[in-house]
Structure 1
Amino acid sequence: MYRLFLFTGFVVFYMAVVSNAATIVKIVNGNDADIEEFPWQVSVQVNDNGYWESHCGGVIIDKNWVLTAAHCTFSSVTRTRERFRVLAGSSLYSQLNVTRYVKDIYVHKNFQKPEVLDNDIMLIELKKPLIFGSTINKISLDGDISKNRTGELCKVSGWGNTNGTKDELNKLDRLQEASVQIINPDSCIKVYQQVYSVLANTKVCVQGEEKSSCGGDSGGGLICRDVDGSTEKLVGLVSTGFGCDAKVPSIYSKVSAYLDWITTTMDKKGKNGKNNTKDKKNNKNNRDNKNRKDNKDNKNDRDNPNRKDKKNKKNKNQ
């Protein structure tokens, strides 16, 4: 009975953690923000029931690519690329005026669902590139996995909810931002000890002061500045948390741990397509050049005997 009670407690706790990772809840107790401050922020929408709805946040990392959480594919239906689209370009959710449909989605091959949300990261390749400006732009990726960022103050953003409930009536139209702090991983282990015995180096433990991110912000970015304050970098992606209580730390995916996967996937899936097109064009040009050369050589071969024969005929007549 004792073992059964412990197992049941684990299931209830875990299901609460996972279910909260996919709810349509937003930044809690945040401040109004301008998209010019967070031009990389996008809304990742899904169409499961014949209409589009906001499901996750996302981060622009290239004109053709958006980074988000892999668990955004969770659904009772299979979410293929056709079920996703990305909206960008405004501080107001109702006025997001730039829409991009999805060419393909790339979920990390080692993503564990719904066990512990390990490797909770996904790349979205857009069908049409974004045009960068003051309201749409990319964010640099943090590439230093060895750097200890404990104690750093960072920011998260998303389209908000005022009270941390699932009630869509409390959803704010205005983009929200909140300041949070990266804290010692042990703080997360204490809360999530029935899920994690050790917090892997692929995760970041984050907590705010009366402010927090929630499930609907999943895939949104944890943005931190360098020590000198000059450069903002994408350090984490909102992954999971227990409710929307700012007093309870949340877990983010550490971007620097996936830098190789991100760059390799973008190079292999995105740039190769362009290169293949270029290669085909080059091959065609090479074939055309060869054909032209062969034709010229053949013409010369035909001309030469004729010229020789004419010369011989002339000599014979003489």
Structure 2
Amino acid sequence: MELTFTKGRHHRTLMCVLVACNVGALVTAINLVIGLNPEDRISVKRGAVLTALGLVYFVTLFELFNVAALFTGAGARFRHKYRLSCGEVLDISNKLVSAVQAAFSCATGAIVCAWSCTRDFMRSSHFMSEAYAWFGAAYFFYDIWSMYTVYVHMTTNIDYFKTKLRRPSKSEASLSSGDAVVTKRPSFFTYCRHEPVILMHHLFIGGFGFLFIIYLRGGLGDCAFGFVYLMELSTPLVSLRGVLSRLGLKRSRAYVVNGLAMLLAFLACRVLALPYACLLYSRAVGLGYFDVSYTPSQLIPAEYAENIDDIEAWQARIVSGWEAKPGQHPHQVSLRMVDILGGVGGCGGNVVHKEWLITSAHCTASRITIVVRAGLVHMTRPEMFLETTEYYNYPTFDALRPSDVQPNDISLVKLQQPLQYSRNLRPIRIQPSSDNYRNYDEEIVTASGFGRIWTLGAQSQELRWVYLRAVSNAACASIFGNVLVTENTICARFFNVTSQSICQGDSGGPLVHVSPDGVPFLVGVSSFVAGGSFGCHSGLPSAFIRPGPFHSWFTEITGIDFNNLNEEEDEVSTLVPSTYPDTSPTDLPTTIVTTTPIPETIPTNPPTQSPTTSTTYPPTTTSEEPTITTTEEPTTTEEPESDEDDSEEIDDPELADLLKRLEVKVKVKVKLSKYLKKK
């Protein structure tokens, strides 16, 4: 880090170089993270670059302050006015860099707190938390070097200018303080013995603190770490106090005012911040401030469970997943459902036979027609484009309340023409009856769909998939309650990244488990996720409906025994990833009460026709996601399709033709309704 200083125009050139390096390092670091989504994680490669840029930034900033104070006319006048030695100048520069670092830390803390503390206190995260941990870690190692440099010049009469030159010229030597005898430079180990506390502090924060934020915390507690960053709020005032002391201004008004401000900032950010963070946590989990224990069922109330159909997000994608390759999920289909008012919603579905699909009942309830896109990994390029009006919701599902989360949320869709199987379009085997109530706890499963990338997040038209880890029904019921999580439910949460999940727009899609023989089975149909202030990315489990317990109903409706299905096509196989991500998974909750599920008698009286209804539902005027409660009777609403979707449909000839036919159907129904009222 040694720099060669010269006088005259050369030091101006050096200052320009330092400014360019300093500003360039900061701008490059900002560009590395500016395009990230809030929930993104910082990769090791990106983080290593941020640390290198941080080291360049803090070192060049320190040297820039030194050059400005020691080798410019203004700096010379400043030193002369306050009678500053070389060591005192370096000490002031060190304190100014410390103030700049503290300002960056406070800005980071404000961003993290504003994002994470207003969502899920424990599980919401913002990339700035990790990004500045990588960038700021360089400061603590730089500061060890800079403090040693200050120590050398404060304990000796070595001239800073001469230490930067091996053979200074006569003109350069004239800038020195005289011909005094130079004492021996103290070694770094001497400094370590002289300042052990500050050295251990820097090594602890820059080493263990960095590892804890990046790795050991597992992505949890981002809001709490935002308050840790905000603790640096008092540091600039502490640094200013040291600078004023070096300038001999201890009796000035500025020193007194700064001292009072420093005490207030220290009280706010280092004393009161921790109790306030505890208050936020108690509110997040629904506890009193002084409660000492809680049960897992207090984590999230049942009213924050919500269906994951989203009429505005049918083109979005799954959370923290990967784009699917052709043929990787050939059983996945996209459904577009239209109600009597022309409102359009989107869901996923599963091919289980040439003429039958399985999806969620809340997707098909009260719909008059369903458009099926099959054999696709992109919404605009399906191999088959079909329309059907025949579907069967499970008899216990109340079709008049499709927005209300209900158990047994499963439906069969009958296709008007058989599918033509291909490499990209194949059925998937349904969970066998022998595994109806199997405990898949801790087993790895996969989900796919066109759902949102995160709660209220961006949209995409590509099929996405993600690894999840199954959760026992007992653990899931402790969060959502036994009303929603029954023996016919299977739950799954993130595999190794907290935000991995299904989300709005994934309803009716598959949860797949691969048997030891390598055969994929449909073990769940996407039903609901945590809603309210939690959201898809919170790390809480998502719930799916097991198809296994419904085999007798499937057979009664379709006449097909799916336990022994043998279609005339070639053997069906689904491409499954051969390896799992090579990262360690996050541990699941350990306080799980295990219970034995009690089988429930399944009604076997199916509807004789497609369950449609003429009840009209007023379109909602709000864009917010509905908060669903299972303890009250909510009103069911349907939203009309957005203008953006309409413009996309016009460009699709097949969909345009469908809407024309649909318009005729709607007009006929409306006129018939008016006629019956007059009668």
- Could you state the TM-score of these two structures normalised by the residue count of structure 1? 0.71
1: CA distance, partners of 2:404 / 2:424 = 37
1: CA distance, partners of 2:521 / 2:379 = 24
- The answer as to 2:431 corresponding to 1:139 is no
**2:452 matched to which residue of 1?**
161
Quick one: structure 1 residues 129 and 212, their matched pair in 2 at CA, closer, same or farther if it must change by over 3 Å?
Answer: same
SS at match of 2:559: helix
Moved more, 87-96 or 130-139: 87-96
1: CA distance, partners of 2:557 / 2:478 = 35
1: CA distance, partners of 2:373 / 2:303 = 30
- The answer as to 2:352 corresponding to 1:61 is yes
What is the deviation of 1:47?
Answer: 2.6
Quick one: structure 1 residues 37 and 53, their matched pair in 2 at CA, closer, same or farther if it must change by over 3 Å?
Answer: farther
1: CA distance, partners of 2:527 / 2:322 = 21
2: CA distance, partners of 1:105 / 1:97 = 22
Q: Deviations over 1:24-54 (max 9, x none)?
A: 3641111011240100100010234887855
**1:17 matched to which residue of 2?**
305
**1:84 matched to which residue of 2?**
370
Contact 1:45 1:52 in 2 (8 A): no
- Which ranges in structure 1 are unaligned for 5 or more consecutive residues? 1-5, 269-318
**2:542 matched to which residue of 1?**
250
**1:223 matched to which residue of 2?**
512
**1:264 matched to which residue of 2?**
556
Higher gyration radius (CA) = 2
Contact 2:454 2:537 in 1 (8 A): no
What is the deviation of 1:148?
Answer: 2.6
Q: Return the structure number with greater relative CO, CA threshold 8 A, min gap 6.
A: 1
**1:308 matched to which residue of 2?**
none
Q: Deviations over 1:223-268 (max 9, x none)?
A: 110023x200000000111121251101110111112211221118
Q: Deviations over 1:276-301 (max 9, x none)?
A: xxxxxxxxxxxxxxxxxxxxxxxxxx
2: CA distance, partners of 1:164 / 1:29 = 11
Q: Deviations over 1:153-176 (max 9, x none)?
A: 0111112433331x5xx2112110
1: CA distance, partners of 2:336 / 2:358 = 13
2: CA distance, partners of 1:96 / 1:164 = 27
Contact 2:360 2:527 in 1 (8 A): yes
SS at match of 1:245: helix
**1:192 matched to which residue of 2?**
480
Quick one: structure 1 residues 198 and 29, their matched pair in 2 at CA, closer, same or farther if it must change by over 3 Å?
Answer: closer
Contact 2:451 2:504 in 1 (8 A): no
2: CA distance, partners of 1:41 / 1:249 = 22
The structure richer in strand per residue is 1
Quick one: structure 1 residues 58 and 70, their matched pair in 2 at CA, closer, same or farther if it must change by over 3 Å?
Answer: same
The one-letter amino acid of 1:62's match is: H
Quick one: structure 1 residues 130 and 146, their matched pair in 2 at CA, closer, same or farther if it must change by over 3 Å?
Answer: same
2: CA distance, partners of 1:204 / 1:129 = 30
- Could you state the TM-score of these two structures normalised by the residue count of structure 2? 0.34
SS at match of 1:262: helix
**1:299 matched to which residue of 2?**
none
2: CA distance, partners of 1:42 / 1:246 = 27
The one-letter amino acid of 2:528's match is: T
Contact 1:104 1:124 in 2 (8 A): yes
The one-letter amino acid of 2:544's match is: Y
**1:43 matched to which residue of 2?**
334
What is the deviation of 1:72?
Answer: 0.7
Contact 1:203 1:253 in 2 (8 A): yes
**2:413 matched to which residue of 1?**
124
**2:226 matched to which residue of 1?**
none
Q: Deviations over 1:108-154 (max 9, x none)?
A: 00114455411100000001111001111100011121433222101
Figure out how many residues of one structure are paired with residues of the other and give that number.
247
Runs of 4+ residues over 6 Å off in structure 1: 49-52
SS at match of 2:463: strand
The one-letter amino acid of 1:266's match is: T
What is the deviation of 1:177?
Answer: 0.3
- The answer as to 2:34 corresponding to 1:34 is no
Q: Deviations over 1:49-85 (max 9, x none)?
A: 88785510000000101100001135xxx413xx211
**1:287 matched to which residue of 2?**
none
- The answer as to 2:441 corresponding to 1:150 is yes
- The answer as to 2:400 corresponding to 1:108 is no
1: CA distance, partners of 2:345 / 2:375 = 15
2: CA distance, partners of 1:202 / 1:261 = 14
2: CA distance, partners of 1:198 / 1:79 = 24
Contact 1:22 1:215 in 2 (8 A): yes
Quick one: structure 1 residues 50 and 141, their matched pair in 2 at CA, closer, same or farther if it must change by over 3 Å?
Answer: same
- The answer as to 2:174 corresponding to 1:174 is no
1:87-98 pair list within 5 angstroms: 87-98=373-384
SS at match of 1:42: strand
The one-letter amino acid of 1:248's match is: L
- Which ranges in structure 2 are unaligned for 5 or more consecutive residues? 1-285, 287-297, 561-679
**1:241 matched to which residue of 2?**
529
Contact 2:407 2:485 in 1 (8 A): no
**1:312 matched to which residue of 2?**
none
RMSD of aligned residue pairs (Cα, Å): 2.6
The one-letter amino acid of 2:500's match is: K
Contact 1:58 1:220 in 2 (8 A): yes
Contact 1:35 1:41 in 2 (8 A): no
Quick one: structure 1 residues 26 and 263, their matched pair in 2 at CA, closer, same or farther if it must change by over 3 Å?
Answer: farther
Quick one: structure 1 residues 36 and 246, their matched pair in 2 at CA, closer, same or farther if it must change by over 3 Å?
Answer: farther
The structure richer in helix per residue is 2
**2:492 matched to which residue of 1?**
206
Quick one: structure 1 residues 131 and 241, their matched pair in 2 at CA, closer, same or farther if it must change by over 3 Å?
Answer: same
What is the deviation of 1:191?
Answer: 1.8
